[in-house]
Amino acid sequence: MTFVPSNSEEPVVKVPVFPNSIVYCIELPFCFEYEFECFELLTYECRKAFVALERKPKRKWNYKTLPPRTAVTLVIQLLDVDIKQVKERYSDLASNLKEEGWQVLMSLIKAYRRITKDYFSYAPVDGPSCPEEFTRNSEYTIIINGKPVIKGKVLLVERGFGISVNIPMPEKLKAEIALYAQDLLVSKDNIWNLVMDLYDLGVINYHYHRWQISLIQSVVAMETVVSWFILKSLARNHIFMLRKNRLKSDEDLNREYKDALGLPKRIDKYLFPLFKHLKINGLISRLRKIRPLISNNKKTGAYDIRNAVVHQGSKVTEKEAKESLQVCEEFLKIISEAVEGMKSLTNKSTRY
């Protein structure tokens, strides 16, 4: 991290450091598109946090050398109760806050790649897979009353750091990413977050050339969202209205849903009639367009290939994995728009 004098002609970004804080420094293999950006978030334990992303090197690099990487500095505010609990065993703070720090970092990375659609930049846009890996690959510094009591190998924030920025992230984009990341921290157990995590894993594995895993993850994401949509969302009430002669209770719906084995049968049995009933513009035609890409008589759909992989050990090509991810992305958009459409219909009915 470069300290820039105040008379620099380029704008300088300053990032506050709390008097009591823990600072994690970790380097990630992907290339951040912008030179430097800092995000302010609130952890799920209501601690303030700043996450600074810096591209290294900032400006120029030689194609013969290592590709550019992303340096991350994560500053988490320490509360009085945190300091009292450890009783000057400050190294315990890093262990206590490792999951919280990892959640903050991964929420920001997920928000960045989902909004910018940038899943690969010299390497897959991803972070540590678990809190333990985050701790193992990072250096941390603990600051108490403005002074470092445990100093890592890299201390980027001794005076509150500043860095020149020639290519800043647009404010609108930055605000959108920060808001999305904050929502992930608040609602981390939301089913839609789980579905998007499955889709993200599919994309990341695609960029690692793991075609089989990528295709399977995309199909699992579609199966998961259909299961939730039919059994747990507002669609459930509309399904009871459509099938009131056959469905008398939740047990009836669960039994009927289990009998309709496989993603294609559940799409045909529930989604097409439901979308026709809801009369939401364009959903039926869009679903009808991608339905053969999910399953067809030639057994070339994503679901068909997934069955061949699971039951016969078939290979998956790069083209098949890519098409499966494209189908999954469009399918998730359709379900998302259906949910929003049902919400607007419910709001209209409650007004009158």
Q: Are 27 and 72 in contact (CB under 8 A)?
A: yes
Share the mean pLDDT of the chain.
84
Q: DSSP class of residue 268?
A: I
CA dihedral 108, 113, 114, 117 (to 10 degrees): 160
In sequence order, what are the beta bridge partners of 27? 71
**What span, in angstroms and rounded, lies between the C-alpha atoms of 170 and 336?**
27
**What span, in angstroms and rounded, lies between the C-alpha atoms of 343 and 150?**
51
Q: Are 108 and 177 in contact (CB under 8 A)?
A: yes
Q: What is the pTM of this model?
A: 0.85
CA angle in degrees (0–180, nearest 5) for 33-108-121: 30
Listed by start position, the domains of the chain span 12-186, 191-351
**What span, in angstroms and rounded, lies between the C-alpha atoms of 90 and 279?**
60
Q: What is the dihedral sign for C-alpha 112, 303, 221, 239? A: positive
Q: Are 258 and 227 in contact (CB under 8 A)?
A: no
Which tokens is 243 given?
A: 């099938």
What is the per-residue pLDDT across 80-114, written as a single tens digit (0 to 9) for each? Answer: 888 887 777 777 888 889 999 999 999 999 999 99
What is the per-residue pLDDT across 187-209, written as a single tens digit (0 to 9) for each? Answer: 866 888 999 999 999 999 999 99
Q: What is the pLDDT along the chain (352 residues), one digit of tens a residue?
A: 333 334 444 455 556 778 889 989 899 999 888 888 899 999 988 899 999 998 887 655 555 566 788 989 999 999 888 888 777 777 788 888 999 999 999 999 999 999 999 999 889 999 999 999 999 999 888 888 888 887 765 444 444 445 556 678 899 999 999 999 999 998 866 888 999 999 999 999 999 999 999 999 999 999 999 999 998 888 888 888 777 777 778 788 888 888 888 999 999 999 998 888 888 768 999 999 999 999 998 889 999 999 999 999 999 999 999 999 999 999 999 999 998 888 776 665 544 4
**What span, in angstroms and rounded, lies between the C-alpha atoms of 19 and 214?**
45
Distance of CA 297 to the CA centre of its chain: 34
What is the per-residue pLDDT across 263-289, written as a single tens digit (0 to 9) for each? Answer: 999 999 999 988 888 887 689 999 999
